[in-house]
Structure 1
């Protein structure tokens, strides 16, 4: 896996590093180097050399710089020029958070830095959007090729594919829109909730929070069960988001064929007990999760993609003990 060095004027690189780890989890061999106001090119180069020496993999490094032609960029390019074989050290300028998240995702595929440049540059560009959407600059699109006679509106065989089904009280937020979307690679995000489907404001907020190129919809549980059986959605790779375990159970009992549930966040409220930093449960939650387990559903208890999974059976035992102790 190649190393990544974030470089910038001021604390931008440090801030992006912290923000990206909130979304994608702690990263190995990723460091940030900042050029402070009282430092010159030589000071920055020294810090850059120290950062490189701290990495486990110094053969393949991707530098993500804030600005083309600035001191951080220039000092990194000088190091590359001085390296005997610089082909495995590359710099991309115009760093933003979507670019950094995409570079994390690309590392897990085992690619070299030169093979991921196109993807991270494209993701950086797609991350620049305007709200309200009507103020987005309009790009001219090439004319679509003419459809062959008889090919339109043909149904797709098969059923919808679930690349991830997640329980998360916050539903669609940064960790889901970036980290989990990159990890699961869906072409559609579906929030399955009777409550949210009735709430126009929340539905609009979910649609607006969708990552570029992956639309987000909100549907009631009954509608999701109908979609699950509709062959027209056979090529859809969907990420399903549930607000509660109870909603997930209702969907499965209605015919949504989910084999595994990612349990990422269950917020605390009155009557619940905290079983870890992000999961709070009451008796109904415990009973529901046990029922799902007994139905053969597997659990992947993780907040972000590269964190270590926790054992659901142990969490349920802890939750039951805490609930019984409060009686």
Structure 2
């Protein structure tokens, strides 16, 4: 029997699993994977591997995830390449999709067969009242897409963000909805050398937006000669503050940097739930401030902004205490 893994931000996967069981009955070889607020990508990947290992058939697996480009999608996608002949990932999980997948397993033996079959049911399950709203043409959104362009022949930097997770759900949904970029550019020497990570980032781009990965020096060159980009709205993603500082010192004309998330590692302290600083990070943020940049410290647009001066002061105090202990 084809195994099914439901993956989501928060408890959505567990909730929809429970709903599916109420409607269609208890199911074997179905597992849930959740990303909780206190967890990161590595936690999700570990859960994903554990869920896969618990299935009777680990070759034929259908992954139903909540959001294309989100962390649950990205982590299963990072495992997908070695199994792409049989595994299938379907984003946009809803209850009609899940029930149809359960029913399809009774007569279909491959994840690909089931995936093809459930797509139509998933789309047809989205309905609205009053019915005339459904008749609105999707093409009505086309003019808005055209309005994303900036002045001809120049980049417009709509967001520059430091986030060790780079392109993930918060960026692919909340920030792109708010800033409306036409290009997402990951600026990182390390990622530019990693073909798998580059491919995963390109695949995680939201519809209508192209994702690129460039080394820091290449971004500096693009900033100085951006004529061939013809008015693109650019959202820049940096994996760490050091790459952001190199870009700014090299001439990338940024005025504000959004600080979203920095992963914890040995020797670092956590002044809040999502940021981990070592001494080099603190020194780098101070240099960015001295270069005239403002900091926008928040994970998503609706969050209240944190005070970077207070965060740095707290992190420095914790590092000093760590050294003395």
Which deviates the most, 177-186 or 259-268? 177-186
Alpha carbons of 1:120 and 1:265: their partners in 2 closer, same or farther (altered >3 Å)?
Answer: farther
**Could you say which residue in structure 2 is the equivalent of 1:130?**
none
**Could you say which residue in structure 1 is the equivalent of 2:197?**
202
In the alignment, the residues of structure 2 paired with residue 305 and residue 317 of structure 1 have an alpha-carbon distance, to the nearest angstrom, of: 24
Give 1 or 2 for the bigger CA radius of gyration: 1
In the alignment, the residues of structure 2 paired with residue 286 and residue 260 of structure 1 have an alpha-carbon distance, to the nearest angstrom, of: 17
Secondary structure class of the residue paired with 2:235: strand
Conserved? CA contact 1:172–1:206, under 8 Å: yes
**Could you say which residue in structure 1 is the equivalent of 2:276?**
280
In the alignment, the residues of structure 2 paired with residue 174 and residue 168 of structure 1 have an alpha-carbon distance, to the nearest angstrom, of: 12
Conserved? CA contact 2:20–2:95, under 8 Å: no
Conserved? CA contact 2:153–2:227, under 8 Å: yes
TM-score by length of 2: 0.56
In the alignment, the residues of structure 1 paired with residue 217 and residue 192 of structure 2 have an alpha-carbon distance, to the nearest angstrom, of: 11
Matches within 5 A, 1:212-231: 212-229=207-224, 230-231=226-227
Alpha carbons of 1:36 and 1:197: their partners in 2 closer, same or farther (altered >3 Å)?
Answer: closer
Secondary structure class of the residue paired with 1:186: coil
Alpha carbons of 1:245 and 1:238: their partners in 2 closer, same or farther (altered >3 Å)?
Answer: same
Secondary structure class of the residue paired with 2:309: helix
Q: Which 5+ residue runs of structure 2 have no aligned equivalent?
A: 1-5, 14-18, 24-93, 97-122, 128-132, 142-150
Residues 242-292 of structure 1 deviation map (CA, whole Å, 9 limit, x = unaligned): 000000000011111011111000000011001111100011101111111
Alpha carbons of 1:186 and 1:160: their partners in 2 closer, same or farther (altered >3 Å)?
Answer: same
**Could you say which residue in structure 2 is the equivalent of 1:139?**
none
Q: CA deviation at 1:119?
A: 6.4
Asked if 1:239 corresponds to 2:235, the answer is yes
Residues 158-206 of structure 1 deviation map (CA, whole Å, 9 limit, x = unaligned): 4211111100001011111111111111001000001110111111111
Alpha carbons of 1:259 and 1:234: their partners in 2 closer, same or farther (altered >3 Å)?
Answer: farther
Alpha carbons of 1:259 and 1:202: their partners in 2 closer, same or farther (altered >3 Å)?
Answer: same
Residues 26-82 of structure 1 deviation map (CA, whole Å, 9 limit, x = unaligned): xxxxxxxx89948xxxxxxxxxxxxxxxxxxxxxxxxxx966xxxxxxxxxxxxxxx
Alpha carbons of 1:273 and 1:227: their partners in 2 closer, same or farther (altered >3 Å)?
Answer: same
**Could you say which residue in structure 2 is the equivalent of 1:250?**
246
Residues 213-268 of structure 1 deviation map (CA, whole Å, 9 limit, x = unaligned): 11111000111111112212240101100000000000011111011111000000
In the alignment, the residues of structure 2 paired with residue 259 and residue 306 of structure 1 have an alpha-carbon distance, to the nearest angstrom, of: 21
Q: CA deviation at 1:94?
A: 3.6
**Could you say which residue in structure 2 is the equivalent of 1:317?**
313
In the alignment, the residues of structure 2 paired with residue 323 and residue 232 of structure 1 have an alpha-carbon distance, to the nearest angstrom, of: 45
Q: CA deviation at 1:207?
A: 0.8
Asked if 1:297 corresponds to 2:287, the answer is no
Alpha carbons of 1:158 and 1:240: their partners in 2 closer, same or farther (altered >3 Å)?
Answer: same
Asked if 1:176 corresponds to 2:167, the answer is no
Alpha carbons of 1:272 and 1:120: their partners in 2 closer, same or farther (altered >3 Å)?
Answer: farther
Count of residues in correspondence between the two structures: 206
In the alignment, the residues of structure 1 paired with residue 181 and residue 289 of structure 2 have an alpha-carbon distance, to the nearest angstrom, of: 25
TM-score by length of 1: 0.55
